[in-house]
Structure 1
Amino acid sequence: SCLLWQQHRNINYEQTSIVSCFAEAFPVDDVDGNFVRTVKDCIFSKSIPTPLKGPLRLAAVSKEVVEETLDLDVVLTQSEDFLQFASGGKLMSGSVPLTHRYGGHQFGYWAGQLGDGRAHLLGQYLNRKGETWELQLKGSGKTPYSRSGDGRAVIRSSVREFLCSEAMHFLGVPTSRAASLIVSEEPVLRDQFYNGNVDTERGAVVLRVAKSWFRFGSLEILAKSGETDLLRKLLDFVIEEHFPSIVSDDPDKYLVFYSTVVNETAHLIGQWMSIGFAHGVCNTDNFSLLSITIDYGPFGFMEAYDPNFVPNSSDDEGRYRIGAQADVGLFNLQKLQEALNPVLTQKQQRAANMILKGFTGIYQMRIQQLFRGKLGLRDEDEEDGLLIALLLKMMEETKSDFTMTFRQLSEASQLQLHSRNVSQMWALYDLSQHVHFSDWLRMYLLRISRLKKSRSFNKKCVNPRYVLRNWMAELAIRKAEKNDFSQVAMLHRILASPFVTQTTAEDAGYASRPPRWSQRLKVSCSS
């Protein structure tokens, strides 16, 4: 482990120290420079961020991340130094910027070497709580892994990443965090929908933090390249740093690691589904070994309940539709198992096969648990699966809003439900138009009557009133592109308390029926 020096929270940036333990722990690419190339026999390449051009502006900042994770007074983010450090213009003391080499299966096919094409790992930071965090810039310029890209990110994707990673945290979903969003006047060319219409947008950089950025593809590239010693070295490092319950000299430690990742991935996808979140690009290079949500691209929160909801306009075949996320998770875990095979005995490989077969059962158990909670059911009943399935089927056929249907079910009193008095609740009213609504409601009320304790909802972590709907993000982006970041700040504040009814959010219509124009919105991989 790395021991990092740090001071109290009102430190000066020049005194802030982060280190890159990775440069010491692993062989680093022996070729310097940011030019694109095939990289072998290493985990990282050294790569210096390219400073953004033109005047810089702090568009958004997460006070919680800055103060509680990075030990800085949020006032310091208003300084020119912070603008430079958080956008790649300057390096903090001890920082050796690295870019990570990884591969991945994209849309079901092995894509070979991928890597950090526009992200720079600044190093690791130990905060006053004893937590180690990895600091990364996204949109900070070309790297050896940029392929045909320019290494930049634009305002629209950066606003979405900043808002969504923070929103997911407050929804209780494991995720990377965003400390700040800095925008520039630097022109960036993008063909947003890959239709030949190239527009000039503006560059932006997000300062992201996570416990680790290692992903399934981190191991895949080493297995595919036959770099077994390095594969074992990386696995040992990840286990030692992030899986303290695994004994380092256990001969089955890689198998225990795999079992843990299978279990935690099932739980993560279950949480996505429970809030109607579709990642959009569930490639193996976007799945974290620590089972946190990373790499926010063309994601979307489902509005009308639809298992075939596809947030990514680039996903023509609907491979990553919301209803297929568990199947894709199973596929990705199979690819992870294949990456581990070189360091497993034949007996361990057979055991890994059995572990993988348990994924579906773990996922289904977690889904049942989460959706029982969404219905306020504290205990288990053998008919709960049918109750949940019928509800979702009715929601699908009536196109009822996912978030607000569950929220309004939890807000409606049992007296209102008994009397079918839901006309003032727009999402529940839509659901009530189904021919079987009364039958389902009788089942639900009967189920509630059998509870040992009355229906109960954990209002801090079940059934949010506000999620980052695409139309909400779009309005904030349109203003941000005109240098008005007020709506980004407002959304950030609101989404930090997604379970609490807020006057500002209600006035903005964030819990109302989505505007019709929102149905025409598209999000692509281009950013």
Structure 2
Amino acid sequence: MKLNIDNTFTNELPADEELNVFPRQVSDACFSFVKPRVPSEPKILHYSSEMTSAIGLSKEEAESEDFTKIFSGTEVYQDTKPYAMCYGGHQFGNWAGQLGDGRAINLFEVVKNNKRWALQLKGSGLTPYSRTADGLAVLRSSVREHLCSEAMFHLGVPTTRSLSLALTGDQVLRDVQYNGNPAYEKGAVVCRLAPSFIRFGNFQILTARQDRKNLRLLMNYTIRHFFPGITENTKEGYIQFFKKVSKDTLKMVMDWQRVGFVHGVMNTDNMSILGLTIDFGPYGWLEGYDKNWTPNTTDSQHRRYRFGQQPNVALWNLAQLGSALNLIVDDVPALENILNEYQDSFTLAYQKMMRDKLGFNTEEDTDELLFQELEKTLHLTETDMTIFYRNLANFKKDETLAANSTALDFIKDSFYSPEELKDETLQGWLNWLKSYQTRLLKEDTSDEARKAKMNAVNPKYVLRNYMSQLAIDAADNGDYSLISELHELLKKPYENQPENEKWFAKRPEWARNKVGCSMLSCSS
């Protein structure tokens, strides 16, 4: 198995001088060298053929014993030195100090077709940043990350990717519900990929320690390798860098909103400097449309990271990054201007997103009111976001609307309780549809062209939590076929797949409150 290795992070940035692995504060360094824990009985359950090809591996190599050894942590690839990154962050709005790669170990960087990939094992053992944890991961969280990384990419959402999913053969103790009842689960390792895994927190920890030298080194390294066209080691370049990070972050979050994805843990240490969705923990897709929904049990009281709040949280996180960068930028007004631009850009991005989702090609002054009324209407009765938008594309703009619930037949599959479509609830829906029809009549587009436009941004298939849980339950019993089935399904989320129609359905009632199917903990 031959890979084109080109390690820049460890070659160009300062390393921790302590080589013994034990939890500690790491200063004057951007990373620590550490080897993965050797699993007792590694087994590759699934791999992404797209990503094996992306790093230059053939099908035969991906199914070789060497592949299993390297991407389970059993062996270290020749002439490489694995490492864990040092970073800090704000967790739920509070500064947490040093965090770092507590259960992730970076293997190496590969360059293929002029594209750089950093490869990282998640769940491969202790690092200096593991604090009181064991650095391991379990099957359920690993299945979720492996599937979701690839699903997000095919939805058109900026994201880290996943190369492979492996069982370790070891048992890992976890308290899945944080209720004092820990139990042993199957250990697993995911190999994930990104051009870089640098986060907001990598910069924050250096500023917190007033380490200007290494902050400048990290800034210059990041610009040099990942922000072409920006000049490193200049104030102007640093400001342009922050502006690009702000723009990329907004793009990512607006794609989350478009497809109904809720990250669940938008701490600053979980924010990629490249605007990629990173760290798939207690995430979820909206089932019933609810701006206040969060999939994270830890966040169930204050709902800081709820669906409707994600764009504002991203702005807050950017403000923390800007504050960190100001140690070497020394220009608060310039950084604040970029944050103000984010707010203005968000308004425009939201309006464009909604016009696209509703099939509009033009802009009307009444659009904002129509969007607001739709949001209110979606809350009248539990309405599945994915099915609603997908089926709304079937609306005929010159059709005569009935004055009863039959007018809603084309979207009835999106309602969890159709019997509630009466009185004020029914009238609210009829009123909005009439407004929508009036707006569509101002468009020149045919119903067919509008449907194609809407179906290009409103997915038919998303990775609902109950789907992941079905795959997890099957895998726990030794059946990995559903992982493969869902992986293939989610490669074409915008296409009609008649053979997979069973997955275009509301969450089943049995999954409403089942562990793993509704809200989840950060336990992995």
Shorter-chain TM-score range = over 0.9
- CA RMSD of the aligned region, Å? 1.7
Tell me the amino acid that sits aligned with residue 329 of structure 1.
A
Equivalent in the alignment of 1:355:
338
1:484 to 479, 482, 494: 479
Equivalent in the alignment of 1:257:
241
Structure 1 position 87, deviation (Å): 0.7
Equivalent in the alignment of 1:47:
34
Structure 1 position 504, deviation (Å): 3.4
Structure 1 position 35, deviation (Å): 1.3
Q: Secondary structure at the match of 1:45?
A: strand
Distance 1:78 1:357 in 2: 50
Equivalent in the alignment of 1:326:
311
Structure 1 position 76, deviation (Å): 2.4
Structure 1 position 415, deviation (Å): 5.6
Distance 1:474 1:21 in 2: 38
| 1:367-391 Cα distance to aligned partner (Å, 9 max, x none) | 1111111111112222111112211
Q: How does 1:287-302 map to 2 (within 5 A)?
A: 287-302=271-286
**Contact 1:426 1:513 (C-alpha < 8 Å) held by counterparts:** no
**Contact 1:16 1:93 (C-alpha < 8 Å) held by counterparts:** no
Distance 1:396 1:268 in 2: 25
Distance 2:333 2:475 in 1: 53
1:94 to 79, 96, 106: 79
Equivalent in the alignment of 2:205:
221
Q: Secondary structure at the match of 2:393?
A: helix
Q: How does 1:262-301 map to 2 (within 5 A)?
A: 262-301=246-285
| 1:461-498 Cα distance to aligned partner (Å, 9 max, x none) | 31111101111111111011111111111111101111
Matched, 1:73 2:70: no
Q: How does 1:118-517 map to 2 (within 5 A)?
A: 118-127=103-112, 129-248=113-232, 250-315=234-299, 316-345=301-330, 348-414=331-397, 418=401, 421-423=407-409, 425-427=411-413, 430=418, 433-454=425-446, 456=450, 457-458=452-453, 461-506=456-501, 509-517=502-510
Tell me the amino acid that sits aligned with residue 404 of structure 1.
I
Matched, 1:523 2:520: yes
Give the length in aligned residue pairs: 507
- Call closer, same or farther: CA 1:37–1:428 in 2, change over 3 Å: closer
Equivalent in the alignment of 1:108:
93
Q: Secondary structure at the match of 1:294?
A: coil
Distance 1:230 1:360 in 2: 31
**Contact 1:52 1:89 (C-alpha < 8 Å) held by counterparts:** yes
**Deviation larger for 250-259 or 416-425:** 416-425
Distance 2:256 2:29 in 1: 33
Distance 1:233 1:501 in 2: 49
Give unpaired runs (5+ residues) of structure 2.
none
**Contact 1:171 1:461 (C-alpha < 8 Å) held by counterparts:** no
**Contact 2:395 2:410 (C-alpha < 8 Å) held by counterparts:** no
Structure 1 position 52, deviation (Å): 1.3
**Deviation larger for 215-224 or 114-123:** 114-123
Structure 1 position 460, deviation (Å): 6.6
Distance 1:80 1:417 in 2: 64
**Contact 2:89 2:267 (C-alpha < 8 Å) held by counterparts:** yes
Matched, 1:59 2:45: yes
- Call closer, same or farther: CA 1:102–1:250 in 2, change over 3 Å: closer
Structure 1 position 500, deviation (Å): 1.3
Tell me the amino acid that sits aligned with residue 51 of structure 1.
V
Distance 1:355 1:17 in 2: 38
Equivalent in the alignment of 1:4:
none
Q: Secondary structure at the match of 1:111?
A: strand
Structure 1 position 436, deviation (Å): 1.9
Structure 1 position 94, deviation (Å): 2.9
Structure 1 position 513, deviation (Å): 2.6
- Call closer, same or farther: CA 1:365–1:215 in 2, change over 3 Å: same
Q: Identity of counterpart residues, as a percentage?
A: 39
**Contact 2:14 2:29 (C-alpha < 8 Å) held by counterparts:** yes
Distance 1:418 1:73 in 2: 56
Equivalent in the alignment of 2:102:
117
Distance 2:413 2:372 in 1: 18
Q: Secondary structure at the match of 1:359?
A: helix
**Contact 1:306 1:396 (C-alpha < 8 Å) held by counterparts:** yes
Distance 1:417 1:160 in 2: 45
Distance 1:74 1:379 in 2: 47
Give unpaired runs (5+ residues) of structure 1.
1-12
Tell me the amino acid that sits aligned with residue 61 of structure 2.
L
Distance 2:232 2:85 in 1: 25
**Contact 1:155 1:202 (C-alpha < 8 Å) held by counterparts:** yes
Q: Secondary structure at the match of 1:231?
A: helix
- Call closer, same or farther: CA 1:449–1:144 in 2, change over 3 Å: same
Structure 1 position 355, deviation (Å): 1.6
Structure 1 position 44, deviation (Å): 0.7
Distance 1:66 1:364 in 2: 39
Distance 2:380 2:16 in 1: 54
Structure 1 position 58, deviation (Å): 1.6
**Contact 1:154 1:202 (C-alpha < 8 Å) held by counterparts:** yes
Equivalent in the alignment of 1:3:
none
Distance 2:235 2:141 in 1: 44
- Call closer, same or farther: CA 1:123–1:417 in 2, change over 3 Å: farther
Q: Secondary structure at the match of 2:252?
A: helix
Tell me the amino acid that sits aligned with residue 349 of structure 1.
V
Q: Secondary structure at the match of 1:436?
A: helix
Alignment TM-score, normalising by the size of structure 1: 0.93
**Contact 1:17 1:94 (C-alpha < 8 Å) held by counterparts:** no
Equivalent in the alignment of 1:9:
none
